[in-house]
A and B are shown apart, each in its own frame.
Chain A
Amino acid sequence: MSSRKKTLLKVIILGDSGVGKTSLMQQFVNNKFSHQYKATIGADFLTKEIIIDNNKPVTLQIWDTAGQERFQSLGVAFYRGADCCVLCFDVTNEKSLNNLTSWKDEFLVQSNVSNPQDFPFIIIGNKIDVDDSKKIPSLQKKLHNITHNQLGGLNYPVFETSAKDSINVEAAFEVIAKMALQQEELNAASGGDVNDDYNDAINIHLDGESSGCGC
């Protein structure tokens, strides 16, 4: 309660259903992994306080989302004001890798950030603990294609993690926190206002419907 002064950084985790978003968040925040998490419906968040660069305390507010596409329509409100977006895929599931671009686009549309070109994204390939035989064949090459070659390529930091064995999770979130802090400071400097034109444009008075509308 008294920590209001602390910087609050909002992080959104996106990616296909089942890639391990909930597990990553739980591993980072509660240091545990369980195969027992229920499928996420709607959205959920956890907070964790960490120290960046040995002296800067921040509160990470991490939003976990439902991966099924249709849930996107519920997500408009809490994407806004995000300071960093984590795009997750499952190293054993090629489709989840190919969908990263859509998740990014979706986020940019919904969050309406003011600097889409240099908004901080980070890519996490999860489940590296599984047997190599199950992993996406020539993953590095495909990943490179997606991050570099494609139009509007996802040229962002990539982490390969295991939420199960707690590999690289800590490290990834440390970078996430730093990137989020930068974005936050940038926003604060520029007045912190995101562009609201789009929503105002549709926020027109609605008709009370035809009752007695004969005139």
Chain B
Amino acid sequence: MATTQSTNSEEAPITPKKSSMLLDPNEYNKSDNAANSHQRNDSSYSRNFSLIDMYGEEAASSPTGPDSNDHGSTSDEQLDYQMLQSLDEFSFGEISTDHNVSQQTITQIRDTPTPQPPQHDEDDDDEDRLEIRQQYVIPTSMGNETKILNSPFDRYGFRKSSTHHGFTLEEYNDWFKEYSEYSYRRKKKWELLMKSHGLPIQEDDPVPTRFPPKSDKVKKMIRKGIPPEWRGNAWFFYAGGYDKLNRNAGVYHQIVENTKNIHNKDTEVIERDLHRTFPDNIYFNESIDANGNTLTVPLHSKETPLIKSLRRVLIAFAHYQPQIGYCQSLNFLAGLLLLFMEEERAFWMLVILTERIIPKVHSADLEGVHTDQGVLMLCVKEYIPQLWSILGTTFEGERLSDDQILSKLPPVTLVTSSWFMSLFVGIMPTETTLRIWDILWCEGSKTVFRFSLTILKLCLDNPEFDGAKHSPGGEADQIELFQFVQNFPKKILDCSNLVDLCFKKIGGYGFGSLSQDEINKCREFVSKQREMMNYKRRLSTKMTSEERYTLMNSSDGQLDGNNDIHDVYGFHRPIMGGVVWNRSISNKMKKTFAKRNSSRSST
């Protein structure tokens, strides 16, 4: 056993295969390029600009297939019928030949214990970077599903189950049997949707690079899950990745070049985290062999291509966003992105995420985390008051009054903070996280709040939560609750159910109607409160009266209109004053509670 294992097990996943790469729109559009030849200098830049139109506003009026109107408004039932009719067009044979190569790669990884000869020089970093990328995700097809079912690893190379998971291998497989059929059906629907928007799937490249513009229909489709092997391209498209990339052509590679030999505090921490990112994923752990055994002998002696990519992306990011630098948890985000897209794109997705979607969450002071936890707790208090009555205490079990919510965030925020920082990566089963990511890249940060609330509400509804709930407060109870909330998400395998609970009008929790506008307003409010709080904190801590005086009279602009000394003592308006709540979902929640309580007491 040891002899076969000690040979280079990391070679298997490397083998780059051309035809299964993620298609670059530049490539895609090469034929059009002749017509645009007047834009020839710095061609990739100018050519790409013309592409913006295709997925920007213009996309809405882009030429669609003749039957697009029918499809655009069809219900799922109709789609099913049409799907049956057009099944010959999506012949199985074609699809599986399309994926032959990646299947072969996977076969090499999982079925053949003998490693393949290396196909590229491992000594040359540049070569790695420029290499045409292999597809890491096993595409949805009938044949593949069976293979996955029999493998210790999932579609993405993660170990399906281990002691760190909240479910057994059997439970996983039971779920997967059903879910893989669902995924297959959804993919067929996506193919129809694409066709109806004049974006039919190419036979030679089954992974589309362009997608239908955002619409209610598209949103619905996304919420039901993007085909796994399309995810990278779809996320990139809907997050505005092309725009970002086109405006920064070449920037990433330049940064990588410039940071090649850099050594600082950030790179030190990055280095330590590389191998702790996805130790249970074959693409990130060179010591997992084809049979799923973990070798103990040659540790980190060789690095997988994705480990190298991860290093470059994180170092480049730390350099590009110095106000963030490297923050632990970014490794999870970059790592997951890298399974789905090449590193330049993964880099820009990280930038989009930290600039636009969850700003300041990873900044040096983690201010965004504190703000968002404040918002989340205000949401809990408003929309799940029953849960707030349990969680709204200090570690010692002391109740938090309304004006203490933001200054003394309850213990549970220590758990939810990590939800925001790692965007559920490693918090929930992989597919569940990915379903949330599908929605997040299209719909924005409200998604994180909506799902956090859904998960918290699910906790509350869980019978096991009951025990701790009914006993009187006290530290031990808070600890039990803390642990429950921490472990509970690991068990949420049924991702479709979670999505339904979040969004379904009937039978759902209603958090799908929490609007981005509301989140933004509340964020602004909490952020202002925190600014004031920090200001007061500075005033109240060991400071001579002279220092205090100087600080208060300094016009650092942080607190415009608040230089008045009276503010130090505060006002008596309740903290909720600044937020206008969405009454409709609040009322809905209250009604649901009332119903449940009455049915409970009657039984």
Across-interface contacts of A1 in B (CB, < 8 A): 467
What are 28 pairs between A and B in contact, CB < 8 Å? Answer: A1-B467, A8-B476, A17-B273, A35-B296, A39-B273, A39-B328, A39-B331, A40-B328, A41-B418, A41-B422, A70-B327, A74-B414, A202-B407, A203-B404, A203-B408, A204-B568, A206-B406, A206-B407, A206-B533, A206-B570, A206-B571, A207-B570, A208-B576, A208-B577, A208-B578, A209-B528, A209-B529, A209-B578
Select which of A37, A44, A70, A203 is within 8 A of B364 by beta carbon: A70
B479→A61 contact, CB < 8 A: yes
Residue of B nearest to A8 (CB): B476
B468 smallest CB distance to A (angstroms)? 10
- What residues of chain B lie closer than 8 Å to A207, measured between beta carbons? 529, 532, 567, 570-571, 573
Across-interface contacts of B411 in A (CB, < 8 A): 77-78
| Residue-wise interface mask of A (17-47) relative to B, using a CB-CB cutoff of 8 A (1 in contact, 0 not) | 1100000000000000001111111111100
CB proximity of A90 to chain B, nearest CB, Å: 10
Interface positions, chain B 528-574, Cβ under 8 Å from A, are 528-529, 532-533, 536-537, 540-541, 561, 567-574
- Does A77 lie within 8 Å of B404, measured CB to CB? no
Contact of A17 among B269, B278, B365 (CB under 8 A): B269
Residues of A within 8 Å of B491, CB to CB, are: none
Q: Given A38-B279, A68-B327, A68-B328, does the pair A205, B486 have CB atoms closer than 8 Å?
A: no
Closest-by-CB residue of B relative to A72 is B366
> From B542, which residue of chain A is reached at the shortest CB distance?
A198
The closest CB in chain B to the CB of A68 belongs to B328
Residues of B within 8 A of A (CB): 164, 269, 272-273, 275-280, 294, 296, 299, 327-329, 331-332, 363-366, 369-370, 394-396, 403-404, 406-409, 411, 414-415, 417-418, 421-422, 426, 467, 475-476, 479, 483, 486, 525, 528-529, 532-533, 536-537, 540-541, 561, 567-578
Contacts of B363 in A (CB 8 A): 70
Q: Are A42 and B418 in contact (CB under 8 A)?
A: yes
Contacts of A71 in B (CB 8 A): 328, 366
Whether B476 contacts A198 by the Cβ 8 Å rule is: no
Residue of A nearest to B363 (CB): A70
Residues of A within 8 A of B296 (CB): 35
Residues of A close to B573: CB separation below 8 A = 205, 207-208
Contact A17 B328 (CB under 8 A): yes
Among A42, A202, A208, point to the contact of B571 (Cβ < 8 A). A208
Report Cα–Cα, A17/B421, bound state, in Å.
17
What A residues does B370 contact at CB under 8 A? 73-74
11 extra A-B contacts, CB within 8 A, seeds A8-B476, A208-B576: A37-B279, A41-B421, A41-B426, A74-B369, A74-B370, A77-B414, A202-B541, A205-B573, A206-B532, A206-B533, A209-B525
Q: Which residue of B lies closest to A32 (CB)?
A: B163
Q: Do A17 and B529 form a contact, CB below 8 Å, given A207-B573, A209-B577?
A: no
List A contacts of B414 (CB < 8 A): 42-43, 74, 77-78
Contact A37 B570 (CB under 8 A): no
Q: How far is the CB of A117 from chain B (nearest CB, A)?
A: 18
Please give, as numbers and ranges, the residues of chain B lying within 8 Å of A17 by CB-CB distance: 269, 272-273, 328
Instruction: Please report the C-alpha to C-alpha distance between residue A204 and residue B408 in the assembled complex, in whole angstroms.
Output: 11
Q: Does A201 contact B (CB under 8 A)?
A: yes
A19 to chain B, nearest CB (A): 10
Cβ contact within 8 Å between B366 and A70: yes
Q: Is B541 touching A198 in the complex (CB atoms < 8 A)? A: yes
| Choice from B280, B407, B578 contacting A36 with Cβ under 8 Å | B280
CA distance A162 to B540 in the complex (A): 44
Select from chain A the residue with minimum beta-carbon distance to B411. A77
**CB of A163, distance to nearest CB on chain B (Å):** 14
**Complex: A35 Cα to B277 Cα, angstroms:** 11
How far, in whole Å, are A203 and B536 apart by their CA atoms in the complex? 9
Identify the closest chain A residue to B480 (Cβ): A1
